[in-house]
Chains A and B, each alone.
Chain A
């Protein structure tokens, strides 16, 4: 059985290893000079006060490597590429080539066959995702200084979530293959559902995993300019605005008008705001919750994957393909 798995899937496994390998090498080559900007390690420049070396390194980082944060967003497709590529043909290829009739009449019960396939290929895809996640985590460590802790440029690419996404994509591929019975439509169907679930969770559900923190801060007159967000650039800001002396929140257009008034005359806006008793408020998820969020997100996606694979097991027990 194990030999059979290897013989049947070695092409995909090797192709994916090369895919992950190429990305890893590219990140390593690009990342070396970026890491070299911070001889003392980038964490050294994370907490103020920043020394001169840090400040100039930060400027260089922003200028030379700021764009890569955006490019990294593309790697959100990697879990799908890995999991879908191995998962979609798992059943679909047997069904479209008719070989299901060959393999399911050998002396290996169907469910054992499916279990071995899922365990072996699922493990391969999760391992590849783990490797990729580790490389990305190393690469983007200096980029943490530019922010983006809990969003798709960092949270979704590092830690344990990429593995959960990959397993989910794999399960989606297997299910789509069982339903659509052809590899390419199965891969396409899996992509659409993968993106839909990922966007929904990342965009609407993740910000509410845990009750967000609300902070209200008075403006320090003469501090120069209105400070946005929180002191940590990696916190996930959900909403922010002003609160007036009576405790009423001013958001949206009201906040824009308020800011315009404060800037009238070209002086320091914090003096105006302070004099009118206006404070800054922000609702956010602090970066310290990174691992809590990673755990919650992993549980969600692994749970969905298990559910989907359980459906396939139920389906394959009833021999009606």
Chain B
């Protein structure tokens, strides 16, 4: 196990450098720079000012030099400051946006799991039944419905027509003056619609995986054996089949971990939620290189570590991997 871990960790560093280098080059290749957007089509911005700013941000240096100075600062965990006039440190900007995105995505993920697993299991067990058909249809409708359209419909109905739920934002205008529980309730009611919309679209994938994996498992010999032993159907499905059927789903879940910190731009924009998705898109539009790169580093590190943990977990499960992978991995 030790050498395996060391080997994996050693690969992470050059991989990270490679990822950031390629990203840095690609971002810089995009036409325009941070200052072109500052300027817009304003006749009042003088060329000298632009030159000064170019030097201030170090944009006049060759790309490789820029990358090197960025990398050396990163090695000291200095992500730099945003090019935008707020001049905030990159980590502060990410820190402002991350909590709400994480909260939304985690809640969404939990709800998806809680709903998708039973749907998948039931429709596999009763393959071809009307329940299977109805859920399949429902789930595909959800998959095919554009987020923004569903969001606007719900906002219009529950927000504007009925007035039951707030339309957008995270807090009411009088939030500061509410009681503690009033504040929590207010916050939850603001999150209700975005979560419903996000969940509805995400259900399809998971429930399909679950169904597929369950279908494979119930055909296995040990399920036959369990039935032959005279175990009740509940135990056969709930204990023997489900556990094994969940394995691939857990893998997919692991891989979607890094996605938890990247928000959905569409949902965030429509519901006016200041999350990571909006931050990333705005930074890209504004060519705010430090923030874009900072974001990428966070995502890259998370992805690499999620993979690493997955490999370690496999290593525990499967001795072949732990022992050097001579016979290939999985």
Q: Do A and B originate from a single complex?
A: no
Residues of B within 8 A of A (CB): none
